[in-house]
Chains A and B, each alone.
Chain A
C-alpha cells in the first residue's frame, strides 16, 4: 500500500523542485511586474507604500515621445537585423551545403561569436569602431578615405549596432538551416535531379519549401532574441547618440535605474511583453496553417496516385 502511494507520488516529487523554483523566481516576478505597472513607485519605497494610479503609466507612455521613439527603434532594429541575417544565413547554408573537408571545423568557428559574452562582443566592436585606434578607420585612413563617425553619428551608430549583431547571430541561422538542409529527404532531391531541375530551380521549388517549417521556427527564435538584445548596444553606444540606438530593453533599465520610475518601467516591460506575445502567436498560427496545408496536399497526392 505504501509502495503504491510512493509510486503515485513520484512524478510530483520529481517535478516539485523545478515547479517551486520557477514559481518563486519566474512566475511570481512576472505577476508582480503586472501589478507594479499600475503603481507610482520609486526604488526607495516598499511596494505597499506605492500609490495605486491605475492605467496612468500606460497612458503617459503612449504620449511620451522618448518611449515611442525607442519602441520604433526596437522594431526597426529587429526587422532589419532579422531580415538581413535570414538572407545571409540561409544563403550561406545553401552555398556551403556540400561535401567538403573541414566542414565541422568551419561550424565550430562559426558558433564562437554566439558563445562569447555579449558584453565582450560589444567590447570588441567598440574597439574596432574606435575613431582613432579602431581597425575600420585606420584602414580607411591608410587607403586615403575620410574616417567614418561609427558610433558618434545617429544613423552610422544604428548601422554599427546592426553590423555587430549580424556578425554575432548570422551563424545561428546558418547552422540551423544547414541542419535542415542535411536532413532533407534524399529521394526528393534525386527526383528533381532526374527531372532535370537546375541548381536554382532545385533551391526555389524543392529545398526552400521543404525547409520552410524549420526556417519559420528559426525566424521566430531569432526575432524573439532580437528584442532581447541589450548588452552589445549598452557597451557600444549606451543608446546614443541621442536616442538613435536606444532599444526598449535599454530604456526599461534606464527608467528603472536612472529615472527611478519603477512603475513606468514595469508598464514598458508589459508593452514589450505584449508585442512579443502577439508576434509569437502570429508565427505559431502561420506555422499551424502551413502544416495543415501540406498535410492536405500530401493526402490529396496520395489519393491521386
Chain B
C-alpha cells in the first residue's frame, strides 16, 4: 500500500471530522468576526453572520501607527501601540538570545559528553515543572531590589531567556545527536577550529530543530502574562498585560478588545500555518522518542 492511495471512509466519519474542525477553529473564527463588527452589530439579536465588516476596531487599537486620520477616533489611546512594540522587541530579542546560548550549550553537552543526556532531560523536565507563578515572588524581589532592572525590557527578556533555555537545549540536543561526527572530524582535519565547526558545519544541519526551538521560544515570550505583569512599568508593558488591564474594567468594548486579541494571535497563527511540521516535531520529539 503506497502512501498516495487513500482508504474510503463512511460518511459519518467525515461528518465527525467536520464537527471536530468546526469545534477547533470556531472560537477563533468567532473572535475574528467579532473584531470586524461594530458594537451595534455585536449587541443586536439578529443572525451573527450578516454584518458589514469594518476595520474600525483595528484602527482604534493601532491609532498611533495610522498614516491617515480615521474620522471616528476623537482620542487616540497609545497604550496598545506601545505595548505591541514592546512585545515585538521583547519576543524577538529573547528568542535570538535563547537560540544562540541554547545551541552552544546543547552542542557542548552532546559532543563533549561530560554530562549524560539523562541529566539534561531530567533537569529540563524539572524546570518545566516550575510554574511561572512560583517564580513570581522571587523574580519580583530580586529584580526590584538587587538587580534594579524592574520596569525595563532587559529585565523581562532575562526571565524569558532563562525560562526557555532548558526546553531549547533539550530539543536541540535531539537534533545535534543526529549530525554525523565524521562531518565534524573532516572539517577539523581541514583546519577548522571548534567555533568554525560549530557555526559553519553543525548549525546549517540542524535548521529544522532551530526553527522548532525558535517558534516555541517566541511563542512563550509573546504570550506570557504573569511575569511581564509583575515586572513591567507603564513604558515596558506587553500586549497580554494591556489586554488584561482593559478587561478588568466593568464595561468591555468587545469589538476593540477582540481586535487586540486578534493582533496578539496573528503571529502564532502564521507560524502554525507556515511551520506546522516543525511544531509537531518539537512537540513530539521529547515524548515519543524518549
Residues on A close to B: CB < 8 A?
Answer: 6-7, 10-12, 14-15, 17-19, 21-22, 24-26, 28-30, 32-33, 36, 43, 46-47, 92, 95-96, 98-101, 104, 106-113, 115-121, 123-128, 132-133, 135, 138, 167, 171-172, 175-176, 179-180, 183, 213-214, 217-218, 221, 224, 227-228, 230-231, 234-235, 238, 248-250, 252-253, 256-257, 262, 265-266, 269, 272-273, 276-277, 280
Contact = CB atoms under 8 A, between A and B. Distances in A.
A217 B134 contact: no
Contact of A127 (B5, B7, B254): B254
A165 B128 CA distance: 19
A235 B244 contact: yes
B129 A265 contact: no
Nearest to A48: B145
Contact of B133 (A92, A110, A248): A248
B132 A230 contact: yes
Interface in B44-70: 45, 48
Contacts of B127: 26
A24 B162 contact: yes
Contacts of B187: none
B142 interface: yes
Instruction: For the complex of A and B, list the 8 residue pairs with the smallest distance between their C-beta atoms, beginning with the closest.
Output: A25-B162, A18-B105, A14-B108, A117-B223, A29-B138, A249-B133, A11-B112, A115-B268
Contact of B287 (A10, A100, A214, A248): A214
B139 interface: yes
Contacts of A218: 287
A141 to B, nearest CB: 9
A234 B244 CA distance: 9
A14 B283 contact: no
Given A109-B21, A115-B219, A25 B161 contact: yes
A125 to B, nearest CB: 7
A22 B287 contact: no
B130 interface: yes
Nearest to A179: B284
A18 B161 CA distance: 9
Nearest to B25: A109
B98 to A, nearest CB: 9
Which of B16, B43, B125 neighbours the largest number of chain A CB atoms within 10 Å of its CB? B125
Contacts of B27: 113, 121, 124-125, 128, 167
B48 A227 contact: no
A218 B107 CA distance: 26
B88 to A, nearest CB: 14
A231 B162 contact: no
Contact of A128 (B30, B130, B145, B265): B30
A32 B129 contact: no
A179 B251 CA distance: 45
Contacts of B135: 26, 29-30, 33
Interface in B95-135: 100-102, 104-105, 107-109, 111-112, 114, 125-135
A6 B196 CA distance: 14
B36 interface: no
Contact of A11 (B108, B273, B284, B288): B108
B92 interface: no
A230 to B, nearest CB: 6
B143 to A, nearest CB: 9
A127 B165 CA distance: 35
Contacts of B138: 28-30, 32-33, 36, 266
18 contacts: A10-B108, A11-B111, A18-B105, A22-B162, A25-B162, A33-B134, A36-B141, A109-B25, A115-B272, A120-B261, A123-B243, A127-B258, A213-B290, A234-B225, A235-B247, A253-B136, A265-B136, A273-B130
B207 to A, nearest CB: 19
B11 to A, nearest CB: 13
Interface string B229-240: 010000000001
Given A18-B104, A33-B137, A269-B137, 17 more contacts: A14-B107, A15-B108, A18-B105, A18-B169, A32-B141, A33-B134, A47-B145, A110-B20, A123-B247, A124-B30, A128-B27, A135-B48, A175-B284, A179-B284, A230-B131, A230-B225, A234-B225
Contact of A228 (B125, B133, B269): B133
A252 B137 contact: yes
Which of A18, A33, A113 neighbours the largest number of chain B CB atoms within 10 Å of its CB? A18
Contact of A32 (B130, B142, B166, B288): B142
A139 B42 CA distance: 15
A183 B28 CA distance: 32
A214 B268 CA distance: 26
Nearest to A19: B105
Nearest to B223: A117
Contacts of B141: 32, 36, 47, 262
A98 B14 CA distance: 12
Nearest to A25: B162
Given A98-B7, A180-B288, A221-B287, A269 B133 contact: yes
B275 to A, nearest CB: 10
